[in-house]
Every structure is written in structure tokens, then in C-alpha cells.
Amino acid sequence: MGILSAKLSAVKPSQTKAMTALAAELKAQGKTIITLSQGEPDFATPDHIARAAIAAIHAGHTKYTAVAGIPALREAVAEKFQRENNLTFAADQITVGCGAKQLLFNALVASLDDGDEVVFPTPCWVSYPEIVKLAGGVPIAVETRVGDGFIMQPSDLRAAITPRTKWLMLNSPSNPTGAVYSRRNLEGLAAVLRDFPNVWVLADDIYEHLVYGDAEFCTMAEVAPDLASRTVTVNGVSKSCAMTGWRVGYAGGPLELIKAMNTVQGQSTSHTCSISQHAAVAALNGDQGFIGEFRDAFEKRRDLVVQRINEIPGLSCDTPDGAFYVFVGCEALLDGTTPQGKTLATDMDFAMYLMEEAGVAVVPGSGFLADGFIRISYASSQDDLQNACTAIGAAVARLK
């Protein structure tokens, strides 16, 4: 009998992290690699937030905290939900954890029995199916179409729901497609959910502040208040405040489930770092001007990458409305032959070819349950993005 559990053997490591680790390894060997595989803003954490953390250390806020987070942070989160999303939560309906990722994990561990199903649209974030499996559930992937802007259609949701369905997990703006669910899109899904009172909604709003042009962010509990009693809204400071390493995410939802999530957390990580929690209070309550500055910078980079990628024969992408990813179709290049005589059979082969031949790290679409694509993160400097697009174009031109 091996040491690993049957449950874990079904769980795959993150391809995003694998590609980024490989890029780091090649860099350590002296190769020049532009890393566009990581979902992480390249900006520094704003100074007033960093200073709040340093002050917290000096004030001695270095001890265990309440499992659900310090009261000041839970209050700041409740105010944020009220101010920006028109959602009203009491302090005990808020919980804080080690990133949005842990909140999703806590919610699923707290609610899934073996065999319960979790429906989510694909392409999806690499971690969704794996977190569902770790929690004992069954991931139910619902394919979305390029022609629908990668938006899940109500009829597809209806067809995916069974008596075992416990959750719809929805991420908008989406990683990896950048799709943003409009109010109308959410209303369409809400209409289906009203016919299935046992299905809950796990809204992953981590890219909330990264929406561009005319696109407008909205979240299910706001659009369909009648579903709020079965919706958990997850968010955090990682992407909007350039705070990925601080590990602060938060969630608001029905008391019974939030309490159960606290039980899961209390028996695992206990809580997120006390110092990070004080930094997050400054992020939520302090000057938010930087959010718009980051967004404007990302929008320019998005436009640059979309234009440059579409100039490369064989690659194509639409202009995404949100997040900081471009999901690029590369199917036309599969079956091509590299200068070394290797045939590119899959998007993984193409991603590896770009790593070796162009010195650019991207993530293959298969990691997001969508074959025939690569995901490019444009959370990098304009120079890096320009150089990466030039190198990708040259590498593609060498394919036969």
C-alpha cells in the first residue's frame, strides 16, 4: 500500500505554478525567460499598506488572532461589500483566510459530502477541479464557447444540474478568459437557479476591480438578492492591491456556512498572518487611488498584447473585458513542425516550444480544461510584453 491517499492521487498540481517553476529553473541556468505564466501584478504593494504592516509589527500585533480575522478587518470587509457591492453582512457573516483560494477551499470542505457535484464553466481557473476533488466532490465542467465570449449559457447550466449538485462556482472576471458576466448574464443564470433551491452559488470575485472599457462588474448576490441566502461571495486583496504574497482573502455569506468555514480554518491554518490582516485593513480603508492606476496600466497592456498577438499568423484572440489574461487560440498551429523536427501535437507542446524557442513562459489551455489555447498573463511591463510578442512571432514563423 502506497503512502498517498486515493483522493490525492486524483489531484493534479497547478500547471500555472509548474510553468512558472520551470521558467525559474531555466533562468537559474542562465537562460533569458520572460515569465507570462504567473497571475500576479508586477506592481509593488502600495506604500501606505506596507507601512501599516510595519506599524503592526512594532505595535506587537504578532500573536494569534481570531480564526475569522481581526474585528477591524471584518468590519472593513463588511463596509467594502456595502460600499461597492450593495451587500449587507453582519460582522459574523464575514470570514478572512489565506487568500481567496483558502476561502473557496474552506467553503467546499465545509459543505461537500463525497460524490456531491460542483458545476463551473470552463475554461476555468486551474485550481477549481482540484479543490473540488480535494474536498471530496465531483467537478462538473460546463464548456463555454468562444462565440459566446466564454460566458456560460443558462441552458447549459440547467443541463448540468443533477440531484447531487451542491454549488455553481462562478468566476467573473474570469481567469483565464477575461470574460466578465454582465447583469443580464447573471440574471439568466439566476433564473435557472430559482428552479433548484438546493444549489448554492460560490462567487469568486477576485478580479473585481480589473474591468475595462464599458464592461461593468456585478456579482450574483447583488443582481439576485433572493439568492443571497445561498450565495457565498469571495474576494481578496491579492490582485486588486498587488498583495499576492500577503495571503489575505475574505468571504461574506450565510452565517451557518461561514461558521462551518471557520471550523475548517480553525482546524487547519487557524487564520491568516496577523500582520497581513493589519495591512489589509489599510488596503480596504485607505486611499484607493492606486486601484484605478493599476487598472489603466493593465488596460493599455491588454490592448498591446491583443493587437500584437492577432498580428501573428495562426494565433488569435478576442479583446477580454477583464482580469489580466489573454486566452489565445493556437489550434491552427498544432500539427506544425519545429526546426528540431518535432511535431506540435498539443497546446502543451506549443507552450513548451515557446518556452524553449522564444524564451517566453505561458500556460497551456489544457490546464484550464480548454485544449487548443494558451494563456498569456499581461501583468508584466510593456517592455517585457513587447519583447515577448516579438519572440513569439519569430518562433511561430520558424514552424513548418
Nearer to ligand PLP, 99 or 359 (CB): 99
* CA atoms of 80 and 105, how far apart (whole Å): 22
* CA atoms of 366 and 305, how far apart (whole Å): 21
Quick one: DSSP state of residue 61? -
Minimal distance, residue 250 CB to ligand PLP, in Å: 9
Which alpha helices (H) appear in 67-148, and where do they start and end? 71-85, 99-111, 127-134
* CA atoms of 121 and 148, how far apart (whole Å): 12
- Give the 3-state secondary structure of residue 241: coil
Distances (CA, A) of 267 to 7, 67, 68, 253, 262: 20, 9, 12, 20, 8
Residues 86 to 105 in contact with ligand PLP, rule: CB under 6 A:
99-101
Nearer to ligand PLP, 65 or 175 (CB): 175
Minimal distance, residue 236 CB to ligand PLP, in Å: 4
* CA atoms of 82 and 222, how far apart (whole Å): 10
In this structure, the strands spanning 249-252 and 325-329 are unpaired
Which one of residues 45, 175, 272, 366 is an interface residue with ligand PLP (CB under 6 A)? 175
- Please say whether the beta carbons of 373 and 330 come within 8 A: yes
Which one of residues 37, 39, 224, 251 is an interface residue with ligand PLP (CB under 6 A)? 39
Minimal distance, residue 261 CB to ligand PLP, in Å: 15
x-or-dash pattern for ligand PLP, window 243-282, by CB under 6 A? -x----x---------------------------------
Minimal distance, residue 102 CB to ligand PLP, in Å: 7
Q: How far is residue 205 CA from its own chain's centroid?
A: 8
Residue 172 makes contact with ligand PLP by CB under 6 A: no
One DSSP character per residue, 155-210 reads HHHHHH--TTEEEEEEESS-TTT-----HHHHHHHHHHHTT-TT-EEEEE-TTTT-
Nearer to ligand PLP, 74 or 308 (CB): 74
Residues 311 to 350 in contact with ligand PLP, rule: CB under 6 A:
none
Tell me which amino acid residue 89 is. Answer: F
- If one counts every other C-beta atom within 10 angstroms of the C-beta of residue 4, the result is 9
Cell 500555472 locates to 16
Minimal distance, residue 249 CB to ligand PLP, in Å: 4
Nearer to ligand PLP, 17 or 398 (CB): 17
Nearer to ligand PLP, 101 or 230 (CB): 101
x-or-dash pattern for ligand PLP, window 127-166, by CB under 6 A? ----------------------------------------
Minimal distance, residue 277 CB to ligand PLP, in Å: 14
Strands (E), 219-289: 231-236, 249-252
Minimal distance, residue 97 CB to ligand PLP, in Å: 9
Residue 111 makes contact with ligand PLP by CB under 6 A: no
β-bridge mates for residue 168, sequence order:
119, 201
Cα atoms in the Cβ-side hemisphere of radius 13 Å centred on 347: 23
Residue 171 makes contact with ligand PLP by CB under 6 A: yes
Which one of residues 129, 137, 236, 367 is an interface residue with ligand PLP (CB under 6 A)? 236
Smallest Cα–Cα separation from 277: which of 236, 232, 233, 239? 236
Residue nearest to ligand PLP (CB): 99
Nearer to ligand PLP, 38 or 262 (CB): 38
Minimal distance, residue 15 CB to ligand PLP, in Å: 12
Size of the site for ligand PLP (CB under 6 A): 13
Q: Which helix (H) or strand (E) holds 392?
A: helix 382-397
* CA atoms of 360 and 384, how far apart (whole Å): 10
Nearer to ligand PLP, 99 or 178 (CB): 99
Residue 206 makes contact with ligand PLP by CB under 6 A: yes
225 preceded by a cis bond (ω within 30 of 0): no
Nearer to ligand PLP, 182 or 276 (CB): 276
Which one of residues 95, 122, 238, 274 is an interface residue with ligand PLP (CB under 6 A)? 238
Q: Which residues contribute to the site for ligand PLP (CB under 6 A)?
A: 39, 99-101, 125, 171, 175, 204, 206, 236, 238, 244, 249
